[in-house]
Structures are given as structure tokens and as C-alpha cells.
Chains A and B, each alone.
Chain A
């Protein structure tokens, strides 16, 4: 029998994840060797949805999948973690490399204060315990884009531990059925990024660019509390929004600033966890959920056919849509961790423990950072719901697109229209146009001011809502015109002259005596036909509610 059919809770519309990035990274710089040596927590996991393999040969089998993630986020900083060379995407090869980054003898690491603050900030935002003392270690592996032969990381005592990340997934087909979930965060550690390798298969050589070597990374380790690709992808998306709100990482997956490895296993509920595989380098939001689900499906298929799951490293082939074993690692790696001899322990302080007279440039105060944390996405959503009576799914949608919330707030500031109207216009019409033409919010030809003015016209009933849509289309096409200009050019304003409208109604009624008869006989639907005819006669420039009033008045008289 073919792969078992899967049925689980988290299928449904993936609105939280809509449109994150376009395309994956090309096979550049697969950073191998970033496995942390952690052991999976064996603690039981709440709310595991069951995966049922239908029509299995051995009768009804239930499978539960367990997914844990290791996420690498590049810290947004001017300079690298331990050197003063610049951090920048797509610079000329090896132009952002210091002697330390190239591991020349005699160079030493000097810790970047900004990277430590970013780690503390991220830890606080994810409700972690911040370790006031953390340690740096060397993790050894040999690869051409790691010139030192080791990566400086935090294996024994990381900077932040025991946090949590809350995210929401759709429960059913309706976007309003949202389930809140939480994944525990095991730890956040500071570490160095590796360089990039460009593989030239033709000439059988590898080109090395060390621009990325030594950039600060936050490795965020999520406990295996997730159970399908959808949940994992949504958790990653929420983390991405949090990092962006904090400004600690730009977290752009297309530029490799957010990279995900997934640990996946399946088992029968009540039985011990299965053997896990690690799917590496999930560097595209679009394929994250798919890669995880296809690996879950593969493991179930293997087990149902009496085969074993090997504890191996796999990668996702997005063209084939399945995971493949990675060949470059044979057997177990021996990272030979050792304490980094060139870096003393990293000490952090709070207001109570701050040594008196300490040089403010040399001490980091956790309380000071906590007080300056910006609103997190969950708080921003809650405020939108409170302030504007917005539906939760609309608050998600507004935060899901870069710059959309700001656009919305600018429109709100300048318009008298109701927040509900603004929300609907921004999310349905404005966002629809953007999506259709694959534009970002900041590339929109329509400014918040123009939309605000348009909504004002609509609000004071100067134009009908269908005319407003026409004006919007025109605004999109012809940059620089104001909504009022378009309305007067196209003669779209509603007829304010009631007498003129009454004359039109009169003419229409005279022209259609049969419909008027139907109405008088009590066919309530006939009035809609008359309204339509009047609107047509006024070139859609009359307000249907006003027409209705006039018609009803005329009929009853």
C-alpha cells in the first residue's frame, strides 16, 4: 500500500505564515556541523494530536509525531561577534574579514557588547531565565569555511535558559478558530557563524567566502513540543516576528538570517519516543512545514512496512518534495568540546548586583534592558483588538506583512472612517492589490494619506462603496492624483440633489409599470429591481438607501 493517508488537526489554512519570503537560498554555504549535543528531553508532551494511518494493513494504528527545532538567528549588529569587521549581506567576497575571522595566528576574540545585549533582550522576550554567568566553549569540526577548526559557542552554560514561545494555529477551516499553543525554549546560546562555501562541481573545487565567518548567531533551541509541520512553521514565524520587533535579528530567511534544523520522530502514544532524524537547513518558510510533514510521513511509512528509522541527518529536496539522507557525515561526530581559553566567563548584572563605580561601558544590566523591551507581537495584537475592536485574525494579518501595521495606523490617524472600515479596506482591498502584483507595502503606489482621504469621502457618503473601489483602482494606476481629483474627473460623486434623484425615480417608475404593479401586490423583492434600475440610470452615483427611501415614499403615496 502506498504512503498512509494522514489526518491531523493542524491541516487548515496557514494564514499566520502567508507570504514570508520568496524562494529558498541556493545551495550556498550549507553550514554543517551545527548540531548541538543536547539530548532530547523525555518529558511528556501536552496536546499531541494523533496521526491516524488509515486502512493500515495491521488495522488501526495511531501515530504521534514529535518535532523539536534548533533555530539560528543572525544577530543584527554593525560588527561581528568577536571582531570589528562589518556584518553585511551580499558584499564582495572576503571583504568583511579581519585577521581574527581568518584565524591568523596571534589574534584573539573581543566580545561585541551589542551581541550580548541582543541575546539578553531575546531571552527576556521569550521569558527565559538569564544566566548571570555564562561560558564560552570551543566546538571542533573541520570544514573549509571554518578556518579556526572550531566554533566558539556556549555549550556548558548558555546565556539564557528555560523560556517559552506562545503561538497560535488555526484549528479548523474558519480563521477565527484559533488555538493557542506554547513551546518550551531549552536555551539560547551565543555563537559564531561559519563562512560560506560555493561548490563548483564542474571544476571539483569549493570557493570560500569568509564574510559571514564570525557573525554573531543566537541559537534558539526549542523543546520537542510540536507535532507537525504547521505547528513548527507557525512557531518559527512567531519567533521571526518577535526577533524583528526586538530588532535583535532581521530574521530574513531568504538572506539566511534565520535557519532552522528540525529533529523529528514518530511513536505510538504511550510508548517511548521513536528514533529521531535531523532535517538540516530548512531555510525557506514555504518549505518548512512541508519538509517536516514529509519526513513524518516517511517515518510512518518506513515503520509500517517493518523497516527501521536510522538516527541520521537528512536534507529536504524541495524539487522532489521529500527528505534525503545527507552523505557528508559518516558516523557520530566528535566535536571535542573544550572551554574557550581566551574568554573569561561572561558576567551580567541586575540593578541589585551592579558593582558600584563600574564602568557603564563594561557592565550589562539585565533590568535596564527589560525596562526598554518594545511591544512584542502578541501585545501589539492584543492592543489592536482592544483599541479598535478588531477580530484576532485581522490583528494577525496586520502583523504578518512588513510595514502593513504602520500603513494601517497612518490611515487611521488621518481618516474619520470607522476602524472596522479601515481594517477591511487595508486587509481586503489594499493587501489584495499588493499580493496580486507581488509588491511589498513600501512599494505601494497608494499612500496612507490617499487611502485616508478616499475613506473620508466614503464616510461622508460623497461616493458609493462601488465608486470608492473604482477610485482606488485609479489611485493605484495613476500615481500623484488625489481621490477627490479622480472623483470629480470621473464624475463619481453621489447625487446629493434629492429633487433630481426623485425625478430619476419617477421616470424609472413610469418606464416600468409592471414592476411597480408587482410591488404594489406585495412582492417585496421587486423594489430591489427598481433600486437597481435607478442606480443604473444615475450611473451608480446614487446611494441605494436614499433611493429606497424615495421609492417607498412614492409607492405609499
Chain B
């Protein structure tokens, strides 16, 4: 049972990760290439910032990669841990909303009743213009 759950949780993680790390280490010493870090930073608009953060990520991956040792051959994958539960259906009535004031309290900047965001997505500057992460 557990094996089924576990495999699924890492389904998407594994699928993209394989694409990047296959040549470096197929079975997880947990090293993450500078290339992958840059890709993640671009997608998530998150700056990993320091080599310490990268090291922490690598440790987390190494920890999770132990799950790969579990033999799941012949085990049917689950859709979700909730797959046998009923999906509750709500009736189509309006019971929420009208709380712009409360929501906007979370915002860094507000114009009238709008949230203010930077124009478009700001892409991070190229890897080599930043402080380099040395992985080699």
C-alpha cells in the first residue's frame, strides 16, 4: 500500500528530474547541476541564493531518493491517496466573497481595489551574470 502512494507522489518530480540529471547521476547521490538550479529558478522565480541552499536541496533529494529502493514492480499506481473517497459535490450557491478589504491587507501594494504586481514576469538575469555556484 505504501509503495503505491509513494511512487505517485514522486511521479512528476521524477519525470522532469530524469531529464536533467540522467547523465550526472541516474540513481541519486543527490547532486543538482547548476543547469537544473537555473531552470528551477526561472520557473519558480525563486532565487536559491547561496550554495548552502543548494546543499540543503541536495540533501532533501538524497533523503527522498531512498524511496526508489522500494520494489514497486507489479503494484498498480494510485491516482491519489484519496482515490477511494467520494468527491463531495457542492450546490451552486454563493456563500463567499465580498471580502476585498481583508484580502488586500495581505498585499504589498494596492491601487484602488486592485493588487499591484510587477509588469509581467521578471526573468532572472542569466546564470553567468550572477554569483556562480561551483558544482565542479
Residues of A within 8 A of B (CB): 77-79, 83-86, 92-100, 102, 104, 110-116, 135, 140, 142-144, 197-201, 204-210, 328, 330, 334, 336-347, 361-362, 364
Contacts and interface: CB of A to CB of B under 8 A. Distances in A.
Interface stretch (B22-30, B63-71, B112-120, B128-136): B112-120
B90 interface: yes
Please indicate which of the listed interface residues A204, A338, A344 has the most CB atoms of chain B within 10 Å of its own CB: A344
Interface of B: 8, 11-12, 16, 39, 43-45, 79-100, 103-104, 106, 109, 111-121, 123
A95 B91 contact: no
A512 B85 CA distance: 96
Given A79-B94, A341-B82, 15 more contacts: A94-B114, A95-B98, A97-B103, A99-B103, A110-B88, A112-B92, A113-B89, A116-B89, A142-B121, A205-B119, A207-B111, A338-B12, A341-B81, A345-B83, A345-B87
A344 B115 contact: no
Contacts of B94: 78-79, 84-86
Contacts of A204: 119
A142 B45 contact: yes
Contact of A207 (B85, B115, B121, B123): B115
A416 to B, nearest CB: 45
20 contacts: A78-B94, A79-B90, A84-B90, A85-B97, A93-B114, A95-B100, A98-B96, A98-B97, A100-B96, A102-B103, A112-B90, A113-B89, A113-B91, A142-B43, A143-B121, A337-B12, A338-B12, A341-B81, A347-B86, A362-B86
A206 B87 contact: no
Nearest to B120: A328
A79 B95 contact: yes
Query: Which 7 A-B residue pairs are closest in the complex by CB-CB distance?
Result: A144-B117, A114-B92, A98-B96, A85-B97, A207-B114, A84-B95, A338-B12
B103 A339 contact: no
B118 A344 contact: no
A206 B45 contact: no
Contacts, number: 159
Given A199-B119, A204-B119, A344-B80, A336 B43 contact: yes
Q: Which of B16, B90, B106 has the most chain A CB atoms inside 10 A of its CB?
A: B90
A206 B119 contact: yes
A83 B98 CA distance: 13
B100 A93 contact: yes
A142 B121 CA distance: 8
Given A79-B93, A84-B95, A113-B92, A208 B100 contact: no
A337 to B, nearest CB: 6
A328 B96 CA distance: 34
Contact of B93 (A78, A95, A336, A342): A78
Given A78-B92, A85-B94, A336-B43, A95 B12 contact: no
Contacts of B82: 341-344
Contacts of A206: 116-120
A517 to B, nearest CB: 82
Contacts of B123: 330
Contacts of A116: 89
B83 to A, nearest CB: 6
Given A84-B95, A94-B113, A338 B11 contact: yes
Nearest to A208: B115
A434 B78 CA distance: 59
A337 B13 CA distance: 10
Given A206-B119, A207-B111, A338-B12, A343 B95 contact: no
Contacts of B44: 142
A345 B96 contact: no
A329 to B, nearest CB: 10
Contacts of B11: 338-339
Given A84-B95, A345-B83, A336 B16 contact: yes
